[in-house]
Amino acid sequence: MTRRNEDAVSALAWAIWGLGALYYFYGFFHRVTPSVMVSELMRDFGVGGALLGNLTAVYFYAYASPQFLVGLLLDRFGTRWLLASACALAALGSLIFASATTLNLAYLGRLLIGLGAAFSWIGTLKLIADWMPARRFALLSGCTLFVGLSGAILGQAPLAALVEAAGWRITMVGAAIFGLCLAATMALVIRPHGHAPAVSAARIRLGESFRLVTTTAQTWAVAIYGAAITGPILAFAGLWGVPYMMAAHGLDRPDAATITTTMLIGWGIGGPTVGWLSDRIGLRRPLLLAGSTLAVLCLAIAIYAPSLPLAAVYALLFVSGFASGTMALTFAIAREHNSPLASGAAIGLVNTACMGAAAVLQPVLGLVLDLNWVGETVGGARLYSVEAYHIAFLFLIGWLAFGVVGALLVRETRCQNVYQATV
């Protein structure tokens, strides 16, 4: 192959990865948008914290539940049409959500968004595996997380300003149009693997793939870590952090969204940084231990330390998010502890745990807030006290502390596939 052809393949590879990462960006944008629409959604649908938590969590139920199947389908049928169709489904869900006049229609819209976005993370990791050298997997996983979290950042302060100006319904219609354009572009550009032949799921029975993954103890250890790290950051920065900052620090919504966004910025920067560092030093486990410990300590101090200046809260949330970027390593570790024949299923199982954690935590926190609500409302929306948030967030801190347990259970791979050594 000539140098010109190599450059052409390389450019196509980066373009395909970029489209996958942009799809993940789109899914992550939808994941956090309710956090800046809390008052409007409570008002328009007449719900309290528990039902609002369920409305936002239905995305995570739909996203998390098919992850194992998503991995198998991508291995079996490839990425092009599955990713394009799934992105179009998310766009349809956005349109339904935008036009919903009843709570049931809103549930349906969020359900379709979650199902459509369910292919985004694993699909992009599959594109990396198909088009990029294996030694870049952890780094590019982190870079994908960074791009996705850019969508979350857009869904915070910038979206809050747009919602204030145009309303949440028009904003969601615009998101639907963007998703349809992205789906069409993926269908036109994505091609079969170009770096190395992908392992086909046709070479292994689905039941055997399930058995290999679920009987590998390290898959579950990594899943515990991923769930412990991901659930709290999505429950806090993705929903309840904005109203908490408004109550605790007297901020308006755009400013509250900005301060919680620093946590997502830290997460986005931490992902590729930790991936690069892990590949550089050839170790995974020490970074998991350091990340989980730092994440829980910084978040606990940011929430419970009295009379903290806003600058300190910004810094603590950023560091907690940065340390949480170690979750990007969980997918590389899952691949390294499992048979290459079942890598898609392994990644899918870990992602199920990560997103399932958020699906559980968001409504649980809303329920605890409702139980501690003293009856105060503003514009038809429930107003929770700082004390109520502090009680609810005890569940958040306790959940995050399980990340340390997960890190202790993970066995070091030294960035190599160790499956043969463990069977």
Distance of CA 423 to the CA centre of its chain: 31
Number of domains the chain contains = 1
Whether 4 is in a domain gets the answer no
What gap in Å lies between CA 152 and CA 410, rounded to an integer? Answer: 29
Q: How far apart are CA 27 and CA 291, in angstroms?
A: 25
Helix, strand, coil: what percent of the chain each, to 5?
A: 85, 0, 15
User: What's this model's pTM, rounded to 2 decimal places?
Assistant: 0.79
- For residue 62, tell me if it sits in a domain: yes
Q: What is the pLDDT of residue 422?
A: 44
Whole-Å CA distances, 307 to 303, 343, 405: 10, 48, 31
CA dist., res. 70 & res. 123, Å (int): 8
Q: Profile the chain (423 residues) by mean pLDDT over runs of 10 residues.
A: 45 91 93 78 76 78 86 80 96 93 87 95 88 81 88 81 85 94 95 54 62 89 95 87 92 86 89 91 95 97 93 96 94 88 82 85 90 85 91 95 95 86 42
Task: Give domain status of residue 1, yes or no.
Answer: no
Residue 3 is assigned to a structural domain of this protein: no
Domain-located, residue 221: yes
> Does some domain include residue 245?
yes
Q: Is residue 103 part of a domain?
A: yes
What is the three-state SS of 32-69? Answer: HHHHHCHHHHHHHHCCCHHHHHHHHHHHHHHHHCCHHH
User: Where do we find the tokens 């050839």?
Assistant: 282
Containing structural domain, residue 192: 10-422
Copy the structure tokens of residue 44. Answer: 């328009």
CA distances from 355 to 121, 141, 232, 266, 347 (A): 11, 16, 11, 19, 12
User: Domain of 73: which CATH number?
Assistant: 1.20.1250.20
